[in-house]
Chain A
Amino acid sequence: MDGQAAVIELRQVRKVYQTGAIEVEALRGVSFAIFPAEMVAVMGPSGSGKSTLMNLMGCLDRPTSGSYRLAGEETGQMNDDRLAEIRNRRIGFVFQSYNLLARMTAVENVELPLVYAGAPRRRERALTSLERVGLGPRARHRPFELSGGEQQRVAIARALVMEPSLILADEPTGNLDTRSSEEIMALLQELNEREGMTVVLVTHEADIAAHMGRILRIRDGLLERDEVVSNPRHAALRPEGKL
């Protein structure tokens, strides 16, 4: 993999929070690289710094020091508008609580990144993306009319719609029952296998992490272990949608 350009490359990334007079060092020099088509789980107990790492990788925040390159671009010095652009074009977020806008239909939610990108043929592209996650027929439904698993699939469709460099999933199955969790993991694996999508997933469930090809364990602001999963679990339940 060394010959390939990394999707994500962190070098000695530190993040210090100033809480009043107290400085909290959430990340104390983390370095790793993630390459295209990898499936990586980030694990760690609460307070380990994994949320901070997630925010940094998602360009929602900047490192205090060190370097973070996303798809070859150094993001450390970018201003807020530029970071917003990077999030828009390079990163597809999937959150634990789906984070769909309740007022909007599924397809309108999926369109949202296209709106901010000023992209043409928005409705068409959003519908295509919904079909990729098997929710074409549900396009006009609002979030409250969908099951948790369906809502998360809408969120994945939204994450995919800009053709990002990576999908960043934060506990994507945290609110789902086992069956829906399996579906979501199956969907992510399928996206990875068929389309070579890079997936980075934060979880504390070993069960979920076992679906990934690699696990980064964070503890006390440091990368504790970087392990390869020799035989990742294959999610059995495929959603009815066709990729």
Chain B
Amino acid sequence: MTLLESLRSALSAILSRKLRSFLTVLGIVIGVAAVIALMSIGEGAQARVTSSLESIGTNLLFVRPGAPPQAGAQSFQPTAGRLTLADAAALTDPALTPAVVMAAPEVSTAVQAAVSGSTVATRAMGVTPEYETVRNFTVAEGRFISEADVEAGSLVTVVGSNVAEALFGELSPVGESIRLSQRRFRVVGVLESKGGTAFGSQDNLVVVPITTAQRRLTRTLTARGADQVQVIYVQARNASLVDAAKEQVTALLRELHDSPTVDDFTITTQQETLATLTQALGAFTIFLGAVAGISLVVGGIGIMNIMLVSVTERTREIGIRKAVGAKSRDILLQFLVESALLSLAGGLLGVALGAGASQLVSNINIGGTQVPAAVTPDIVLLAVGVATAIGLFFGFYPASRAARLDPIQALRSE
């Protein structure tokens, strides 16, 4: 008997009991749907995180005050550290840190931005002009913070698109004044929208000169009196120089801070952050997939159960087939094909269901951002392949029982 004949015979057997076949494969349908939905949501989240992190800037290093967390540390208490504007300025010295193009320090604090009548909660970023380039911001209207603004500590601000819309609607905010923490600032520019990221919106912010932020909005002075910054974004010259930049920055900061052995700052590269996040998300995705995989195994056991019942019910059919010339392997093939076909059908139904579910999820707006659940061909192939393999695996035992039946006994059965 050829495979084609087996397929035809299996199809007719499956279709002759539609409801039962459907119920049999329901476990596989649900399992595959769960795998597809969870894996694609996981992949979508990873893609989202990657693109979010890339939208922050390229070839970046994040320099933060405080010692790096020690492996096995009992406490997450950040070690006291200091990073100052002077540090940031020193990092761009081409003689000391040739791998670095730019360094952009940042101080940020939560503020209320208000014009007469309306208020919006936002975050004020104290920055230098380099910030625009390093963080990939584009000014839609007006200008960015200038060097002169930073030197003078002037009360000027560049507003993010969300803030502009919330406070001024369709009108241009440039030249208008807004109050940030009760101080009057003049709006000199509006940022172009960057859209939401996995870490929240990059449009709900106001940008002010870093000196202004330090003096007027926050009061964070270091022991030495120099104004402290919360993070320095360092941009490496190119992707291959990120590690070199990290070494150079480390060496320079150790020297500046007079601590050749103990670091009081932490440098993470964008790649490291990305790797950490995608690793965590990847583990999460695999975990979800494994949980869903359990239901696939349960579905497989369901198939085995029904196939065993089916073999018992069709003992006489098996006897007849053997009497007219079916060999054991013909019978084996027939039942194997039947269970594989069942679970393949279940797998395909599950793919449809899972794709539908992940489509539904990707349409849900979570905190200004969407997870673009991506049903990729490899997920589909994996799920359908696993489903078919499960059908073959769990179908083998019933099929071999059918194949081993003695034709005389089988013909005698009712």
Contacts and interface: CB of A to CB of B under 8 A. Distances in A.
Interface of A: 55, 58, 60-61, 80-81, 84-85, 87-89, 93, 95, 99-101, 103-104, 112-113, 115-118, 158, 162
B402 to A, nearest CB: 14
Contacts of B239: none
Contacts of A60: 322-323, 407-408, 411
Interface of B: 1-2, 5, 12-13, 16, 316-317, 319-330, 407-408, 411
A81 B327 CA distance: 6
24 contacts: A60-B323, A60-B407, A60-B408, A81-B329, A84-B325, A84-B327, A85-B325, A85-B327, A87-B324, A87-B325, A88-B325, A89-B325, A99-B316, A101-B317, A101-B320, A103-B12, A112-B324, A113-B325, A115-B1, A116-B1, A116-B326, A116-B330, A158-B324, A162-B325
Given A60-B408, A99-B316, A81 B328 contact: yes
Contacts of B322: 60, 84, 87
Given A103-B16, A115-B1, A116-B1, A61 B324 contact: no
The 5 A-B pairs with the shortest beta carbon distances in the complex, nearest first, are A88-B325, A116-B325, A113-B324, A84-B327, A99-B320
Give the interface centre of A60, A80, A88, A89 by most chain B CB atoms within 10 Å: A60
A23 B320 CA distance: 28
A118 to B, nearest CB: 7
Chain B interface, >50% SS class: helix
Contacts of A101: 317, 320
A84 B405 CA distance: 13
B325 A117 contact: yes
A88 B329 CA distance: 15
Contacts, number: 61
Given A95-B411, A99-B411, A116 B16 contact: no
Contacts of A103: 12-13, 16
Contacts of A85: 325, 327
Contact of A93 (B12, B324, B330): B324
A93 B325 contact: no
Contacts of A100: 320
A89 B1 CA distance: 14
A212 B75 CA distance: 100
B323 A87 contact: yes
A93 B411 CA distance: 12
A118 B1 CA distance: 6
Nearest to B330: A116
B12 A112 contact: no
Nearest to A122: B5
Contacts of A93: 323-324
Contacts of B12: 103-104
A12 to B, nearest CB: 22
A2 B338 CA distance: 51
Given A60-B323, A103-B12, A115-B5, 18 more contacts: A58-B323, A60-B322, A61-B408, A81-B327, A81-B329, A84-B325, A84-B327, A84-B328, A88-B324, A93-B323, A99-B411, A100-B320, A112-B321, A112-B324, A113-B325, A116-B330, A118-B2, A158-B324
B293 to A, nearest CB: 34
Given A55-B408, A61-B408, A115-B1, A99 B330 contact: no
Contacts of A162: 325
Contacts of B324: 87-88, 93, 112-113, 116, 158
A61 B12 CA distance: 31
Contacts of B319: 99
A133 to B, nearest CB: 16
Contacts of B407: 60
Give the interface centre of A61, A95, A103 by most chain B CB atoms within 10 Å: A103
A88 B321 CA distance: 10
A80 B328 contact: yes
Give the interface centre of A55, A61, A84 by most chain B CB atoms within 10 Å: A84
Given A60-B407, A115-B5, A84 B320 contact: no
